[in-house]
Each structure stands twice: as structure tokens, then as C-alpha cells.
Amino acid sequence: MIAAPKRRFSVCTCLGLAALLFAPAAQAQETAEELRVPERIVVIGSRDAERSLTGAGHYIDADEYRLRGYDDINRALRGGPGVSLREEDGYGLFPNISLRGVDSQRTSKLTLMEDGIPTAPAPYSAPAAYYSPNVARMSALEVLKGTSQIAYGPHTTGGVINYVSTPVPERPSAYLSASYGSDADIRLHGYAGNAWETGAGTLGLLAEVYRRSTDGYKDIDLRGGDTGFKRDEHMLKAYFIPDGPLDQRFEAKVGFTQLDADETYLGLTDEDFDADPYRRYAASFADNIGTRHMRSYLRWSADLRDDLEVTATAFYNRFKRNWFKQRGDGSTGSRGLANPDVLAVWKGEAAGKLDYRNNRREYYSTGVQADLTWLREIGGASHGFQLGVRWMEDEIERNQNNEAFLQDASGTITDRVDSGECSGACRLQQSESLAVFVKDTITLGALTIEPGLRFERIQQVSKRYRSDGSGQLAPRSGGIDGLDHYRETLSVTSPGLGIRYQVSDELSLFGGVHRGVFLPSPSAHARSGFEEETSTAFELGTHWTPSQRFQGSLTLFRTDFQDLIVVDNLGSGGADTDKNAGDVNSQGLEIQLRFDPGAGQGWSFRNPWELAVTLTDAELDGDAHSEDHESLFSGGEDGNDVPYIPGHVVSLRTGLEFDRLGLYLDAYWIDETYSTASNADGPTDPDGHLDYNFGKTDDYGIVDLSARYAINERARISANLHNLFDEEYIVSRHPIGPRPGLSRQFRIGFDYDWN
């Protein structure tokens, strides 16, 4: 485990910050504006702005999931169309998100950003990492699909999720939330900020803290112990707007996240799952992942003229993690579950050896990006020219060593053996990229046309070291100087075209086509010769707002993937290196309806309804190339369904909102899926062997209830009941065997909002 200093969080911390930030603020309070997010860190900006896009997008305000007691990304995204989610741990720590049928492994096919900056630990060198920003500390989520995504990258085939952090307020503001729930689930969140007028300009500051801990909802055989996690987060953000003739803004942010989770790869057999889905085998007693994440940026933005805006951002992120866990390959993987002798050892019922590995990784990413927007009238049309340039460098260093526990027939651990540094592989992957993006938003009356082009040139380096811990490169024929050292350059282009036509004030049509790209890792491209995955995506949709009470959207989509890459991540059903799975076609329909019968009718209460439906048909176009039985695409044949992509997903939300009281019901239904491309109905691999990674997940429906009562205009109490009917269901068969969704959870809380 990564050694981590203990940190203490208390309500006093928040109160102290509030006192510090509010004390000198009286002179600024009268002139301060409302709390708002600077436009240059968002990609959509508001729910109303969804209808102005030339491609499909979805905006989620934090209040939508906070009032429901959701603070994991899976539940926060449930209400959006086009989203498929494969849960793994029940808490959203390691999400597997798919948009429009793209491969969901570790969310690697999506571009993840925080405040408009790539936030994956190493998005070029290792996109499938065990990190996702915590939605509990965000002010909003933004989801982009279709042509709109090519402005961001590096990956433009699967969509974009932008996490918008808490903005610095422009008047005295504070927020404090505390709750307690099932399995000793404790959540504390607070921030405080203010702005001051100085002799040189306006200075704004924000401090934020977050902590969550839970004992977990599973029970470990024989040895016991917690199965939950602890997460601590801290953030400081500041801005300065200098006085002077130039309208400009300087902004800085630094944030830290620390996670300690007693999570495991090891699942169950189908038989043991049916008897008790929340059981964990004794062999998983020591499984633990510890992570540390640091994120920072400096940003300058200015309106150089009324028609010319510029933004420049320098950023630096670091991420360290060690997942000490049972090895998940070979006989220690899913086939071990099918071996009675191995399974008896895992259950603590027989003598034997438990193979473990320290899966250490260190990542960094750094870069500079600049965006220029120029507004111009040419030939009777309005043009919004946008130019973006980004230089970025990232790296992943892998330093793994194997260990083993010796166990006697009673399940008692008698010894621990370390095989030495690099016994589990030591590798280095680096990427350096230069990306250029151009776009022109052309408006001619009711018609908007938006052509765009993204170009990237990436230099990749792959190194693999000897397993003796000497730090020397391993020998390999074909490498630089006969060593396992490779350097190659890759260039990719993503063009796109989006169109929107405003038929009337109530109705608009949009459509687009773009070429998407997913980049292979340095090991896959420089070392093994894999080329990029490409896709051709089409969409056609409409937004309809006939009245204040109703909003609707409907989108048809189709994406054809060529040379689909299965990322090197055993934990999500990949292999120990990137593989090529062949071609995939995905098509479907997204529907979203919002209705409030009392809006504008003078009712004394609100009754909002929201329905999101996603229909997806994602199939292999030709046989899959993967022969690795650990891969999701093992045994895939032409016409088979893509693993973990449900055919139907439905989300229904409604509520009753009175002056002080709010009552909410959320229902979510998801179709069963195949866990591998072989489309086996039961736990049998293509060779006929028993293997619990193969088979199906369950179709399931979940109902959540929430209530909130306002004590006054600032203080509220809340209660949440998730999984009302205590449904038990398989959400995944990876990494190693069936895994359950979260059990029924109850939570009560209090929050105070002063702004």
C-alpha cells in the first residue's frame, strides 16, 4: 500500500475557513455579482444551452444528484440519454462508462476533463486508469456526444465528460453538508469563498474540503474486515481581475485527492452469488488500493477586443496508486474460480498459496493549451472562428512485484514471501503530443453550420525492464540497440461537420458527421505496431419546446468502429497489453422528455417529470481478433453483441416540490448484457471450459426515494433510501467472476447553504 499521512476533517475546519474568508468582505458584498462559473471552463454551460448545440449534449447541475444523495458518477449520469454504465464496486470508484455503444472498459474511450483540462492521469499513454473525479465536489457535469467532441481530444470516438468544479464566488458564500448512512457511511463536504475589491483589482478565493468513509456492504469469509473506503479531498482556487482598460482574468487551482479502498478484483462463482451476493472469499482479505492525485492549473483569459477572446492554460497533474491484490491472470484469474482445489484455498478451507501483486503505478501529465475565438461578419453571415493549440506530455511508470501468502488447512496465514522488485514487470510509457483544432460556427439566419478539424501528432516511447530489479532494459530483437526500447510517431486527424436549423422558436433540427480516433498506447503502437482505432459517426436529432411545461429531444445515431482497440487493463476485461478486436457497428435512439404540468399554471407546488430512454444495437462486424480468454472480446463472432452494452436503458424521475418539502422518486431499468463477445448464455468459454467471466449480467430495476425539508431558506434536512426493494443482481462478471450492485442503503443528512 502507498503510505499515506492521516488527515483530519472537521466542521471546525469549514467554520474557520468561512470566518477567514468572510471577515473583510463587507465592502465587496454590495457590488458582488451572483455565483457563476467562468464561461471558458465549460463546454455547454447550462441545461438551456443544450438546445443551441450542433451535436447532442447533456448538462447536469449538481443539485440534481445532491438532492438524491448521489455522489458517484454512475448514479449522477443515470438520468441522461445515450449513457450505458457497468458498475463494479457499487460506489462508482472505478466507473466503466459508455456513450452510444462504445467499449466501456475503464471509461478509456471517453475524454475526461475537469474545468476544460484533461484529467485522466495519462490520457495518451494509459487512458484506462483507476481515477475518476469525484462528482460530490462538482458544481455540474457536461456530456458531449457527436461532432461537438472533436474540439477536445485526445480521444474523439467515445464522447466527452467535463467535470465542472465549484466556482469561486463573487460574494460571501459558504456551504456545509453532513450525513450518516448504512454501513457507517459518513459524508462531510464544505466550502467557503468570497471576493474583495483591492487597490489593483478584484481578488476571489475559495477553499473546499470533502471526506467520505464507509465500512462497506460486503463481508469477508473467515477473516472479516472492512470492505469500504475512505476518501479525502482538498481544493484551493483563486482568481484576480486587474483594474485597467483590458478585460482580463487570472485564475489558479490546486487540488488533492487521497483514496484508501479495501476493494478486490475477486468475485464469486454463480452458485455462491445466488446464496449470498455480498460475500467475499477469504483470499481477498488483504486487497487494498491506495491512490493520491494532485491537479493544478494557471489560466489567463482576456477579451482583446469586442470580437476577439483568448484563453491560455498551463496545467500539471500527478497520480500515484498501488493496488495490492490477488493476481488476476492465469490460474489465479477467472479460471481459478472453476478449479475446486484453487477455490478451496481461496475460501480458506484448504492449505495452499495465495498469489498477490503490488500493482504500483506513477503517472504525470502536463501541458499548455490556448484557445482563440474571433467573431466576424462576412458576406451576410456571422462567423465564430475558433483556434485551439495544445502541447501535452504524459507518462506512466509501472513497478510491480509479486508476493505470496502461505496458508494452512485451517485458513491461517503462516508466512509471507516477496519475490523482489520488478518480479511482476517494470515498464515505462511516455507520450508527447501537439494538437491543433480549428472550427468555424457559421450562422446564416436560422441555419448554423459548424465545420471543424482536429490534428494531433504524438511521439511515443515504450520501455520494459529486466525482472531482476537491476533497472536495466530487457533485451528484445527489433528494439533500439537490441533492447526493449521503442520510439515512434503517430499522426491522426478528426474532421467533423455539425448543422442546426431553427425551424421555429419551439423546434430545431440538428445533425452531424465526424471521424473519431482512439489512440493506441505507446507499448501497442511503438512496440507492437498497432494503428489507431477509428470511427465514423452520424447523428440526426431534434429539440422541441412547445411550452414552458414541456421539453423533448430525440436523436438517432450510428457509429462504425474500425480496428477496435481493447485496452491493456485486466481489471476491466482487457489483457496485459492492447489488443485489436476488429470492427463494430453501433446504432440506436435517444429520447429525453421533461414535463412539469404546473409550470406557468399558478400551482402552489411543482411536479417535474423526466424520462430518458436509450435503445442501442452494438454488434461485431466480422469475427473478433482476440484469442485471449481474459479479454472481453474472446470468442466474438460476426453479428454478436458487444459486451456490456444493454439494448434498453430507461430512467424515470418525478417529484413533488412544495414550499419547504420536496419528495422524489427515481426509477432506473437496464437490460441484461453479455459479459463477453462470445455471447455465451452461461459461464463457459469458447473452448468449452467453465469460466465465470463468461455469461450474462442480470436485467434489473432500481427504485430510489428521496426527501428534503427546508428548515429555513438556508438550512435543510434530507433522507434517501436507495434500492428500495433491496434488489440483488449481477452488474458485472469482470474482473474475476460475478459482482453485485449496491445493497439497499439509507441515509439522513443536513446541509447549510449561505450565498
pLDDT for 39 equals 57
Residue 154: asked if its preceding bond is cis (omega within 30°), the reply is: yes
At 293, the pLDDT band (50, 70, 90 cuts) reads very high
pLDDT band at 331 (very low <50, low <70, confident <90, very high): low
Q: Is residue 2 part of a domain?
A: no
Residue 602 clears pLDDT 90, i.e. is over it: no
Region 277-302: mean pLDDT is 97
In a domain, 4, yes or no: no
Q: Residue 576: what pLDDT?
A: 58
In SS3 terms, 473-489 reads as ECECCCCHHHECEEEEE
pLDDT value at position 24? 40
pLDDT score of 589 more than 90: yes
How many structural domains compose the chain?
1
Pairwise CA distance, residues 54 & 56, whole Å: 7
Among residues 9, 622, 121, the alpha carbon closest in space to that of 392 is found at 121
Residue 149 CB-density burial (10 A; 0-12 exposed, 13-18 middle, 19+ buried)? buried
Cell readout for 623 is 469475427
Distances (CA, A) of 251 to 202, 240, 247, 366: 12, 6, 14, 17
Going by pLDDT thresholds of 50, 70 and 90, the confidence category of residue 3 is: very low
pLDDT of amino acid 28: 37
Look at 328 and 401; give whichever has higher pLDDT.
401
428 to 293, 396, 456, 486: CA distances (angstroms): 19, 6, 22, 11
Over residues 401-424, the mean pLDDT reads: 92
Confidence band of 38 (pLDDT split at 50, 70, 90): low
Three-state secondary-structure class, residue 463 = strand
Confidence of residue 196 (pLDDT cuts 50, 70, 90): very high
Dihedral (CA of 76, 175, 301, 247) sign: positive
Which one-letter amino acid corresponds to residue 643? P
Query: CA distances (Å), 440 to each of 51, 245, 383, 630, in order?
Result: 18, 29, 6, 45
- Range of the structural domain that residue 221 is part of: 11-415+433-754
Going by pLDDT thresholds of 50, 70 and 90, the confidence category of residue 8 is very low
Task: Give me the mean pLDDT over the 530-549 stretch.
Answer: 95
Predicted confidence (pLDDT) at residue 182 exceeds the cutoff of 90: yes
CATH number at residue 280: 2.40.170.20
What are the Cα distances from residue 205, in Å, to 19, 20, 181, 251, 542? 13, 11, 32, 10, 41
Q: What is the pLDDT of residues 454-481, one digit of tens each?
A: 999 999 999 999 998 889 999 999 999 9
Provide the strand spans (E) within 145-200.
160-165, 173-181, 185-197
- 284 is a domain residue: yes
Does some domain include residue 427? no
Measure the CA–CA gap between 35 and 166, rounded to whole angstroms: 10
Domain presence at residue 421: no
What is the distance between the alpha carbons of residues 600 and 606, in angstroms, rounded to a whole number?
10
Average pLDDT, the chain: 91
Query: Is 377 inside a domain boundary?
Result: yes
**Residues contacting 527, CB < 8 A, separation 6+:** 462, 464, 479, 484, 486
In whole angstroms, give the CA distance from residue 482 to residue 473. Answer: 10
SS3 category, 165 = strand
Q: How far is the C-alpha of 61 from the C-alpha of 80, rounded, in Å?
A: 12
Average pLDDT (637-649) is: 97
Terminal Cα-to-Cα distance of the chain (whole angstroms):
41
Q: Is the pLDDT of residue 659 over 70?
A: yes
Q: What are 78-125's pLDDT values in tens digits?
A: 989 999 999 999 999 999 999 999 989 889 999 999 999 999 999 999
The CA distance from 679 to 694, in Å, is 8
Report the distance separating Cα 354 and Cα 335, nearest Å. Answer: 15
Least confident range from 127-131, 167-171, 493-497: namely 127-131
Report the candidate in 259, 409, 425, 279 with the shortest Cα–Cα distance to residue 345.
409
Q: With 70 as the cut, is the pLDDT of residue 328 above it?
A: no
* Least confident piece of the model among 4-8, 407-411, 516-520: 4-8
Euclidean distance between CA atoms 417 and 403, whole angstroms: 5
**Residue 11, pLDDT score:** 39
Q: What mean pLDDT do residues 558-573 have?
A: 77
pLDDT higher than 70, residue 393: yes
Q: Which three cell numbers stand for residue 749?
A: 443528512
pLDDT at 332: 65
Average pLDDT over residues 356-372: 96
Exposure letters 167-185 (e unless 16+ CB within 10 A, then b): bbbbbbbbbbbbbebbbeb
Cβ atoms 598, 141 nearer than 8 A: no
Other Cβ atoms less than 10 A from the Cβ of 23: the count is 10
For residues 71-88, b (16+ Cβ closer than 10 Å) or e, as one string?
bbbbbbbbbbbbbbbbbb
**How many residues in the chain?**
755
pLDDT band at 29 (very low <50, low <70, confident <90, very high): very low
Would 657 be classed as within a structural domain? yes
Cell reading at 316: 500539471
Backbone Cα Rg of the chain:
26
Residue 385 has pLDDT above 60, yes or no: yes
Cell of 551: 421539453
Phi and psi of 136, rounded to 5°? -65, -25
CA angle (47 as vertex; 560, 87 as ends), nearest 5: 55
> What is the DSSP-derived secondary structure letter of residue 168?
P
Prior bond of 735 cis (ω within 30°): yes
Q: Strands 160-165 and 111-114: what pairing?
A: parallel
> Alpha-carbon distance 176 to 187, whole Å?
11
Question: Which tens digit of pLDDT belongs to each residue from 441-452?
Answer: 999 999 999 999
Residue for cell digits 496485459?
576
Whole-number pLDDT of residue 420: 85
Which amino acid does the sequence have at 190?
A: G
219-220 and 279-280: which strand pairing?
parallel
Burial classification of residue 312, based on how many CB atoms lie within 10 Å of its CB (0-12 exposed, 13-18 middle, 19 or more buried) = middle
So what's the pLDDT on residue 129? 79
Q: Are 644 and 675 in contact (CB under 8 A)?
A: yes
Res. 577: pLDDT tops 70: no
752 falls in which pLDDT band (50, 70, 90)? very high
Residue 5 within a domain = no
Determine what percent of the chain is predicted with pLDDT higher than 90: 81
The answer to whether residue 693 scores a pLDDT higher than 60 is yes
Encode pLDDT of 215-268 as tens digits. Answer: 999 999 999 999 999 999 999 999 999 999 999 999 999 999 999 999 999 999
Say if CB 291 and CB 259 are below 8 A apart: yes
- 137 φ, ψ to 5°? -105, 15
* 126 in Cβ contact with 518 (< 8 Å): no
How sure is the predictor about 6, in pLDDT bands with cuts at 50, 70 and 90? very low
Residue 716 pLDDT class (50, 70, 90 cuts): very high
Which residues lie closer than 8 Å to 362 by C-beta, 6 or more apart? 318, 319, 320, 396, 397, 399
SS (H, E, C) 324-357: EEECCCHHHCHHHHCCHHHHHHHCCCCCEEEEEE
- In contact, 728 and 701? CB cutoff 8 Å: no
pLDDT tens track for 666-687 = 999 999 999 999 999 999 999 9
